[in-house]
Amino acid sequence: MNGTMTATGTAAVTLQVALVAAGAPLLAGLMRQVRALLEGRAGPGVTQPFRDLRKLLRKEAVTPAGTGSAFRLGPLVLVATTAVVAALVPLASTATPVSGSADLILVVALLGLGTVALALAGLDTGTAFGGMGASREMTVAALVEPTILLAVFALSIPAGSTNLSAIVSGGIHDPVRLASPAGLLSTAALAVAVLAETGRLPVDNPATHLELTMVHEAMVLEYAGPDLALVELGSQMRLTVLLGLLASLSAPWGIATTASPAALVLALVLLALKVALLGAALAAAEVFWAKLRLFRVPELLAGSFLLALLAVTASYFLTGE
Amino acid sequence: MTHATTALLLTAPIVVPLATSAAYAASGLRDAKARAAGAAALGHRTPRQRGAAAPVATLVLRPGHGPATYGTTPAETADGPSYGGPGARAWPGTRPGGSPGGPGTGSDGIAGPDTGPGAPAWSRGRPAAPAGTGTGAGPAGRARPGRGPRTGAPGPVPRPLTGRLGLVSPAAILTCGAALACTVPDSGPVTAYGRLLRADALTVWMLLTVGAVACLACAANPAHLAHERTDEPAARRYHLLVHAFLAAMSAAVLAANLGVLWVAIEATTIVTAFLVGHRRTRASVEAAWKYVVICSAGIALAFLGTVLLYYAARQAGIPEAYALDWQTLAARADRLDPSVTRLATGLVVLGFGAKAGLAPLHAWLPDAHSQAPAPVSALMSGVLLSVAFAGLLRYKVIADAALGAGFTRTLLAGVAVVTLALAAALLLAQRDCKRMLAYSSMEHMSLIALGTAAGSPLALSAVLLHMAGHGLAKTVAFCASGHIARLCGTTRIGRIRGLLAHSPCLGTAFAAAVVALLGLPPFGLFASELGIARAGFLSGPRWALAAALVLMLAAFAALAARTARMLLGPPPGEDDEAEPVPLGADAGAPLVAGLAACAALGVTTGPLTRLLSEAGEIIGGH
Amino acid sequence: MTDSVYTQLLDLACGAFLLAAVVVLWLRQLSSIVRVFALQGVALAAVAALLGLHEDRLGLLAVAAGIGLLRAGALPRLMLRALTTGTPHRSHPHYQEDVSETRETQPLVNVAASLLSAALLTLLAYAVSRPLVELNPTPATRALPVGLAVVLIGFFTLVTRRRALAQMVGFLLLDNGITVTAFLAASGVPLIVELGVSFDVLLAVLVLQILTTRMRAAFGGTGIDDLRELRD
Amino acid sequence: MSSAESATVVAAGLAGAGVLAGMLLPGRIRVVAVGLCTAGLGGAGLAGGVAALGGTRWSAYLPGLLPLAGLHLAVDALSGLFMAVAGAVVLAVAVYGIGYASGRGPRGPASRGVQAALPVFALTLVLVPAAASVSSFLLLWEAMAVTSLVLVLADQRERSAVREAGVWYAVMTHFGLVLLLAGLALFAAGAGGETFAQLRAGASGMSPGARGAVFLLVAAAFASKAGMVPLHPWLPRAHPEAPSNVSALMSAAMVNLGAYGIIRVNFELLGGGPRWGWLLVLATGALSAVYGILQAAMASDIKRLLAYSTSENLGLVLIGVGAAGLFASSGYPVPAALALAAALLHVTNHAVFKALLFCAAGSVVRATGVRDLDRMGGLRARMPATAGFFAVSSLAAVALPPGNGFLSEWLLLQSLIHGMTVPGVSTAIVLPLAVAVIALSAGLAAAVFVKALGVGFFARPRSARAASAEESPPLMHVGMGLLAIGCTALALVPGTLGNSLSRAVAAAGLHGGRPLAGGGLELRLDQVAASLSPLWVTAALVGGVVAAAGLIRLTTRRGRRTNARLWDCGGGAPTPRMSYTATSFAEPLQRVFDDVLEPEQDVDVTPVHESAYLVERVRFRRSVPDRIEHRLYRPVLAAALALGRAARRLAPGSVHRYLGYGFFGLVALLLALAVGW
């Protein structure tokens, strides 16, 4: 039985990563399309991101004057970390060879590594934009860190461990836990953290190039051609993985816990569906949100931190475990 | 060990120094007679000069039997800075509102400008009073080096002899101490001359301390006198007094009879009075007066305490011959009347405390130690305070046997904390480096008093080790400060900069001495302070020790900040690469020897371990 | 020499001794202060002699004579001579200056207050010496409070007088007090100690004498208030 | 004579040789000889520590040394760990020191006094964990303080800041000693003995009040040595002013002994102190972590930044130790063992990466003579090796996966999260806050080291000195290389430390099983369901990067990369002055935390002489002072000086006043006796 277990397990991991890599541009296109429709615009179509990536990949690679290895390594590390996270997180199945070391703290740290790599790349350009973007990104990342870890703490108490597979399979077997105040509070806190981590609207406007407000864009201003393609792909994959993580934590139904291929296919389809649904909801919500001033973001994050703290203490006081 | 050898060992530390000072005196007399003959031959001296000298010269009785007229020591105004206390101006002449004559007229011959011989009329405080260089009513009509070679008078005691003669008595004290250290721990205390002199473990330890510190100070004497450029008679009188001082201290330590102990300690006061006033500036006269008046008043109170103890002993049936003998008193102390003994002990703690630098009669210490010549203040600060405290320890043994340990514990702890508070407070804003070292002596003596208040054998061994360590470190510090004063022309801390860069050897020696005084390893004071703290928390007054630790922290901070300001930084003067000033071998040797001894005490007491524990048993054993 | 006569004479001598101390506080003229101090020396010798006679110990008589000679003869003469040399010859014009040398300037505590505090100090001496008297209630020990009182008065004089010579007298009063306590308590300390103490006192006075001369040379006068340059 | 004992003897012998070499040998050879002796000493210490970690215990008693007490030495697994860490750091930094000190003239780090003090300081670092009695511990503790003071004052002739730092360091260290002396003497008095064995035996017999007092005094003393918040001002002064090899030793080995002290005395000898005590230790650690990293975020002086980061990391260690104490005193040894193991692992990790950071910073300061990050920049091009080492150690310091800092912080988080099983309201409130503090300090640490690495080394040089920097001599690279190897080894195969950590935790008195059943590559916790295989994660990351690079190479047809100008909004080529500096990088963080930091800002306008309306010069100054130092230490200093000036009136020089003191003393004594005391 163990032989088949690893086979379907590795299949699940590779399929997961492939789905994330391929699906990310699609998700971005879907979100832009939904937003266009809500704003009464025709919208460029769902496959527009693919066309952009193809165009960028065909351009010649550019090395701005005075930049060094950090600038070139930045995008590569961003994509690599997101791919590893995609492999680790039990998006499709919890019975994979890597699920043993799929630790939530490790996942959060890997995402942090991606952000740091990009910030260093921004500083390496030596321009005002790169520095400003890096500084703001690191400030936001530093303030998000407590929220995420406390949310992790809240989730790990009922499961007794910070291992993602344990948490997800716990959620599957005991759905009451998801609806409990601790579960709801931690999911809300995690949602805000995801917005901050991926640089979506209330914290940072991904579409703008206005130097006063942009955070993520400022860091990647100097990129062009294939590097820019990688950066775009990286941030889209990051959004997909985080939405997938949020989905599997708050709505784990359908994730394959056994090694049967059929369950795996069903899980992948359901994953795509759930992520698309979440993306559309996010896009719809973004239409109504305006970007917060940079120095109001800490208040938002303080609010989410409070949610996470309540989640932890609530889970202790209510269940008394 | 036959009785004869013990008698020799006990008397040598007193007799040899006395003999040395007598030798100096004799050479002084010979020189005076020769000068009288010389003066007769030189009849041509102007009457005014001779007349002026007459009225004063004849009046003064010769104090000991030195070469008489104290006269001016012209040399010391040349560049011997009467840097005095912080208040005194840095110029040696300390002329109030003095003329812009600058630091002495440079020619080291003629004394500072005096308003001509024989002009006695001063009104108190009038600015025109002559330079306070102690030129005195009449210039001593004698021995002005400016007068050219002496005709036919036999030369003074040849210089190399005085150099070697100076080391004979400290060496004698040290060897006697060492010899006794080999016998006393095994065969017990020895007495001589019908119970007049007695040596037990405590005495031997104090003899070794006195000997060691005396060796260092006497080794530093020639260099110091050379720097001060004192002329022959003054140097001779200086040596005479120093050796008399050593004799008095040895007598105080060896005395078995409490009366003799008191007499010896009073003798030290009298002998050092002129040593403190050696430099003849206004400040040193003031320091000498304060020293004599306050110490004598304090010591008189101690004598009153001794008399009352004698009265209690006589009433307790101890025969008159043994009534003041320490051994019998210690043995039969339980039969003494408690209230009389309590009054006696209180007075003795107040009296001998004055001599040991403890409050309330402490105020003479900073003035005396900052004005005395460096080796003398080293001897006084290093070992005289400890000898006086050793006397106090003798009384403590009797008081504890008669009254129980409670009384002396509270009294000593109280006095110690008050003294420590005063010393720490006055160190905080201190501006003169010699006064800083004097207040540091007060701090260490209060720590010693606190250790004695703890009273256990461990505490007392730590106290004795602290006395030895402090003696050595303070001697090196004071001798170094003497050289610093000569090098920088002032002892004002604010005006001494970059000593380590200016003169590396001197700076390192002074820095090492201050590190030792701060109680940092590898020096002996660290081990003893550790012992006192452990014993204090085990058996002593914990409240006092806690307060003491806090106050010592304040004193540490003040001392460290002041010394850092003096030692660190670029050399004074413009060019950074100035050639550093070397410290001569003869000036450096005692400093290095003192530091090495203090460090040795810190690492291990080696052969002296048994002696130290034995001494601790004697005082803290009951 | 019957007991009653002895006690009366003893009390007379002690009374005179205490009175002399109080008078020293009272006077302003330095030369008269020294003379009163000499009188006190005589009283002290008398006490010693009476004790010697009472216990018919010849040694004590000899000591009394020695004490008398020292404290009534030598020391006062020394101090008087120091006083005279202090004032230069009439041939010099500055007369006004010379007179003040021989008078005690206004002491720290005025005379009335000094006498009042002397009274308080005597009361304190009586309170303190109660246990001493109870230990061995003989006529001699009953006079012990006088000794302690003179010690305290001597210290008080030392503290409050502004002239060097006056301070010296204060110090000697202190010593006289101690010596009389020694005699009254245990009819004198052993001879060798007594000799040592007296020799030390003599030397102390000589030292103070020389310092006074040097002070006059350095500061132009013997006022203790000039000695303020050495401060923190 | 066991191997550990012989190692210690060898270490002492080499120290003696080092001192002699330092004092006697002339110039160039002196630095090399002292460096080799110190390196040998470090190696011996490392060997001794590893042997002790292997389980061999030995003790020695030398009655001859240290009068009145005698020298007691004893080594078990716990002291073995700290000896090994200190030995390793000393070995690497000594090699680095040879390159650092040579070629800088006779004064400063190469001077005779400093070179003689270095081996003694290294010996005390190795021997303090081996002390086994109150007197020997205090002797070695003070010897460490004295020799480190001499080393801190190496450059005292050049800068007045060094002198001031030296005085602050001496006084604060002595304050720590006074607390320690009082605490240990009280402990020895209560337990009735001086050696650690007697203390351990007598601790249970002491009254709760005495135990509480000893706990507080000793914890405060060791917290001040570890640079914890209220007693920390000496750390950001002494470390930057000391020569870099000395500050590397101080930050990587000396501050650990503060943590060692708390574990040894408060944890093991006192048998676990009161609960409120451990809560206080945890709270101090948390406060120091956040305050330290915030000040580091604001610092633009690179060595001051690293010093504050030391304060942060030691804060994390104390959080671990505090949590372990809390769990142990509530009777739960398993989570306590885990928390203590996490703390010990973080001490090891921090020692290695902080030493490398200070060495790299020292190499930069030596090459450019500049400590201010704002005037550095572009050093990667001119000093590639140093930049590489700084990058490796920054990655570790930033606590992200491939680095070793992440592992110990991950273990610390695991122990806190699994500590929730311990009942009690205090744990329920304190642990989440501790997790939040660790998270915030990790986030801020990321910002700090991105600033240090990015602003300091990337982009273009912002000052002439940075532009003219040369790479430092190869010997310094050897030292830094050793440390880098240590970093990567600890990052990739931490499992090897598993059983020695368990032995150290057991030696600290916690017999809660083996917290870390470490496999060769993995960090597996056996009582707790959590495991992490750093080697696989790193392999996956490297694979991902290579795959992405391959994807790029495949899809772009034209292989060459062309150079292009940076985007300058059409306003001409951007100059280095336009790039972000450390101050500007920290400005958002400063704005977010301004009520905590209270930045000072003053603008003084000097008008033209003739009329007040024409401005001649405007001077703007903004600084982020150490708030605790301003609020707490300045008033104390002012009060002390005022007291000093007031006390001067006590000695006004008048003889009457002095005799008056004596008279009133006498009267008071007589009154007391008369009244019948």
* pLDDT, tens digit (0-9, with 9 covering 90-100), for B513-542: 999 999 998 899 999 999 999 999 998 899
Extended strands (E) in B132-286: 190-192, 197-199
Burial label, D170 (beta-carbon count in 10 A; 0-12, 13-18, 19+): buried
Between strands B197-199 and D58-62, the pairing is: unpaired
Which residues of chain C are within 8 Å of residue D653 when distances are taken between CB atoms? 227-232
pLDDT average, residue stretch B555-569? 94
User: Is residue B65 one of the residues assigned to a domain?
Assistant: no
Question: Chain C contact for B7, CB < 8 A?
Answer: no
Extended strands (E) in A166-294: none
Cβ-based neighbours of B467, under 8 Å, separated by 6 or more:
B206, B209, B386, B389, B390, B448
The DSSP-derived string for B407-431 is HHHHHHHHHHHHHHHHHHHHHHT--
Q: What is the pLDDT of residues B336-394, one digit of tens each?
A: 999 999 999 999 999 999 999 998 999 999 999 999 999 999 999 999 999 999 999 99
**What is the average pLDDT score of chain D?**
90
Given a cut of 70, whether residue C25 has pLDDT beyond it is yes
Tell me, what's the pLDDT at B365?
Answer: 94
Beta bridge partners of D618: D605
pLDDT average, residue stretch C126-149? 90
Question: Chain D contact for B498, CB < 8 A?
Answer: yes
Extended strands (E) in D387-449: none
Determine the residue type at D87. G
Do B and C make contact via 3 or more CB pairs under 8 A? The reply is: yes
Tell me, what's the pLDDT at D424?
Answer: 80
What is the Cα–Cα distance from D433 to D276, expressed in whole angstroms? 16
Tell me, what's the pLDDT at D356?
Answer: 96
Sign, CA torsion D163/D164/D167/D172: negative
User: Is residue B232 one of the residues assigned to a domain?
Assistant: yes
Coil, strand, or helix at residue D68?
Answer: coil
Given a cut of 90, whether residue A66 has pLDDT beyond it is no
The whole-angstrom distance between residue C136's C-alpha and the CA centroid of its chain comes to 27
Cβ-based neighbours of D36, under 8 Å, separated by 6 or more:
D94, D98
Give the residue, B15 or B444, on which the prediction is more confident.
B444
What is the token pair recorded at D455?
């602003």
User: Is residue C232 one of the residues assigned to a domain?
Assistant: no
pLDDT class for D295, splitting at 50, 70, 90?
very high
What is the token pair recorded at A12?
């699940």
User: Is residue B584 one of the residues assigned to a domain?
Assistant: yes
pLDDT average, residue stretch D50-78? 89
Q: Reply yes or no: is the peptide bond before residue B360 cis, omega within 30 of 0.
A: yes
**Are the beta carbons of A204 and A214 closer than 8 angstroms?**
yes
Given a cut of 70, whether residue B53 has pLDDT beyond it is no
- What percentage of chain D exceeds 90 in pLDDT? 60
Question: Chain D contact for C124, CB < 8 A?
Answer: yes
pLDDT average, residue stretch C12-16? 94
Three-class HEC string of D457-515: HCCCCCCHHHHCCCCCCHHHHHHHHHHHHHHHHHHHCHHHHHHHHHHHHHHCCCCCCCC
User: Is residue B424 one of the residues assigned to a domain?
Assistant: yes
Q: Residue C232 and residue D654: Cβ atoms within 8 Å?
A: no
- Of D393, D416, D415, D397, residue with least CA distance to D405: D397
What is the Cα–Cα distance from B402 to B332, expressed in whole angstroms? 9
How many separate domains does chain B show?
1
Coil, strand, or helix at residue A139?
Answer: helix
Given a cut of 50, whether residue D346 has pLDDT beyond it is yes
- D103: phi > 0 → left, psi -120 to 50 → alpha, else beta; which? left
Q: Closest to C159 (Cβ–Cβ): which among D647, D648, D663?
A: D663
Three-class HEC string of B425-470: HHHHCCCEHHHHHHHHHHHHHHHHHHHHHHCCHHHHHHHHHHHHHH
Given a cut of 90, whether residue C171 has pLDDT beyond it is yes
Beta bridge partners of D61: D72
Which residues of chain C are within 8 Å of residue D670 when distances are taken between CB atoms? 124, 127-128
Which of A84-98, C91-105, C214-228, D24-38 shows the lowest mean pLDDT across its residues?
Answer: C91-105
Q: Closest to C229 (Cβ–Cβ): which among B85, B288, B323?
A: B85
Given a cut of 70, whether residue D379 has pLDDT beyond it is yes
Given a cut of 90, whether residue B64 has pLDDT beyond it is no
Question: Chain C contact for D655, CB < 8 A?
Answer: yes
Within 10 angstroms of residue B126's Cβ, the number of other Cβ atoms is 13
User: Is residue B82 one of the residues assigned to a domain?
Assistant: no
Q: Residue D579 and residue A126: Cβ atoms within 8 Å?
A: yes
Do A and D make contact via 3 or more CB pairs under 8 A? The reply is: yes
Tell me, what's the pLDDT at D510?
Answer: 82
Burial label, B432 (beta-carbon count in 10 A; 0-12, 13-18, 19+): buried
What is the Cα–Cα distance from B27 to B236, expressed in whole angstroms? 8
The whole-angstrom distance between residue B580's C-alpha and the CA centroid of its chain comes to 31
Q: What is the ipTM of this complex?
A: 0.91
Between strands D562-564 and D530-532, the pairing is: unpaired
Closest approach of C192 to chain B, Cα-based (Å): 8
Three-class HEC string of D314-346: HHHHHHHHHHHHHHHHCCCHHHHHHHHHHHHHH
pLDDT class for C55, splitting at 50, 70, 90?
confident
Closest approach of B473 to chain D, Cα-based (Å): 17
Tell me, what's the pLDDT at A215?
Answer: 85
Given a cut of 80, whether residue D489 has pLDDT beyond it is yes
Measured between alpha carbons, how far is residue B492 from residues B79, B566, D110 in Å? 16, 10, 32
Tell me, what's the pLDDT at D522?
Answer: 67
End-to-end CA distance of chain D: 60
- Of D261, D191, D186, D190, residue with least CA distance to D220: D261
Q: What is the pLDDT of residues B395-406, one digit of tens each?
A: 999 999 999 889
Tell me, what's the pLDDT at C36?
Answer: 94
Cβ-based neighbours of B69, under 8 Å, separated by 6 or more:
B53, B56, B57, B60, B140, B142
**With b meaning 16 or more CB within 10 Å and e meaning fewer, what string describes D38-67?**
bbbbbbbbbbbbbbbbeebebeeeeeebbb
**What is the average pLDDT score of chain B?**
80
Q: Residue A68 and residue D545: Cβ atoms within 8 Å?
A: no
Measured between alpha carbons, how far is residue A284 from residues A35, A193, D382 in Å? 6, 18, 51
Cβ-based neighbours of B450, under 8 Å, separated by 6 or more:
B412, B413, B416, B417, B420, B532, B536, B540, B544, B545, B548
User: Is residue C39 one of the residues assigned to a domain?
Assistant: yes
**Are the beta carbons of B120 and C94 closer than 8 angstroms?**
no
Which residue's structure tokens are 């292009």? D564
Which of A234-248, A250-264, D62-76, D287-301 shows the lowest mean pLDDT across its residues?
Answer: A250-264
User: Is residue C97 one of the residues assigned to a domain?
Assistant: no
Determine the residue type at C155. F
What is the token pair recorded at B596?
């090495």
Q: What is the pLDDT of residues B447-483, one digit of tens each?
A: 999 999 998 999 999 999 999 999 999 999 999 999 9
pTM: predicted TM-score of the whole model, two decimal places = 0.89
Tell me, what's the pLDDT at D518?
Answer: 60
Given a cut of 60, whether residue D127 has pLDDT beyond it is yes
Helices and strands (H, E) in chain C, number of each type = 11, 0
Give me the domain span that covers residue C150. 3-87+105-226
**Are the beta carbons of A90 and A165 closer than 8 angstroms?**
yes
**Are the beta carbons of A132 and A210 closer than 8 angstroms?**
no
**Are the beta carbons of B411 and B399 closer than 8 angstroms?**
no
Tell me, what's the pLDDT at A170?
Answer: 87
Coil, strand, or helix at residue D618?
Answer: strand
pLDDT class for B70, splitting at 50, 70, 90?
very low
pLDDT average, residue stretch A7-13? 84
Determine the residue type at A112. G
Given a cut of 80, whether residue D558 has pLDDT beyond it is no
B 291-330 near C (Cβ less than 8 A): 292-293, 296-297, 300-301, 303-304, 306-308, 310-312, 314-315, 320-321, 323-324
Packing angle, helices B385-403 and B457-488, rounded to 10: 160
Tell me, what's the pLDDT at D306?
Answer: 96
Which residues of chain D are within 8 Å of residue C147 when distances are taken between CB atoms? none
Q: Find the closest chain D residue to A127 by CA distance.
A: D579
Given a cut of 50, whether residue B132 has pLDDT beyond it is no
Best of C152, C214, C224, C225 to disrupt the B interface by mutation (most B CBs within 10 Å)? C214
What is the Cα–Cα distance from B11 to B4, expressed in whole angstroms? 11
Which phi and psi angles does A96 have, rounded to 5°?
-115, 155
Tell me, what's the pLDDT at D521?
Answer: 59
Given a cut of 60, whether residue D551 has pLDDT beyond it is yes
The whole-angstrom distance between residue A170's C-alpha and the CA centroid of its chain comes to 22
Sign, CA torsion D242/D246/D247/D253: negative
Helices and strands (H, E) in chain B, number of each type = 22, 2
User: Which chains have at least 3 CB atom pairs separated by less than 8 Å from chain A?
Assistant: D
Q: What is the pLDDT of residues D399-412, one digit of tens each?
A: 898 889 999 999 99
Beta bridge partners of B255: B197
Tell me, what's the pLDDT at B48?
Answer: 37
Determine the residue type at B509. A
pLDDT average, residue stretch B538-556? 93
User: Is residue C129 one of the residues assigned to a domain?
Assistant: yes
User: Is residue C154 one of the residues assigned to a domain?
Assistant: yes
Within 10 angstroms of residue C112's Cβ, the number of other Cβ atoms is 9
The count of residues in chain B is 622
What is the token pair recorded at B54?
């007459």
Which residues of chain D are within 8 Å of residue C158 when distances are taken between CB atoms? 659
Best of D643, D655, D673 to disrupt the C interface by mutation (most C CBs within 10 Å)? D655
**With b meaning 16 or more CB within 10 Å and e meaning fewer, what string describes B26-61?**
ebbeebbebbeebeeeeeeeeeeeeebbeebbeebe
Given a cut of 60, whether residue B79 has pLDDT beyond it is no
What is the token pair recorded at D674?
């008369």
What is the token pair recorded at B468?
């030895």
What is the Cα–Cα distance from A14 to A21, expressed in whole angstroms? 10
Question: Chain D contact for B87, CB < 8 A?
Answer: yes
Give me the domain span that covers residue B382. 160-620
- What percentage of chain A exceeds 90 in pLDDT? 43
Among B2-11, D2-11, D296-305, the range with the most confident prediction by mean pLDDT is D296-305
Q: What is the pLDDT of residues D206-263, one digit of tens each?
A: 999 999 999 999 999 999 999 999 899 999 999 999 999 999 999 999 999 999 999 9
Best of A111, A137, A149 to disrupt the D interface by mutation (most D CBs within 10 Å)? A149
**Are the beta carbons of A126 and A66 closer than 8 angstroms?**
yes
Coil, strand, or helix at residue C143?
Answer: coil
Question: Chain D contact for C160, CB < 8 A?
Answer: yes
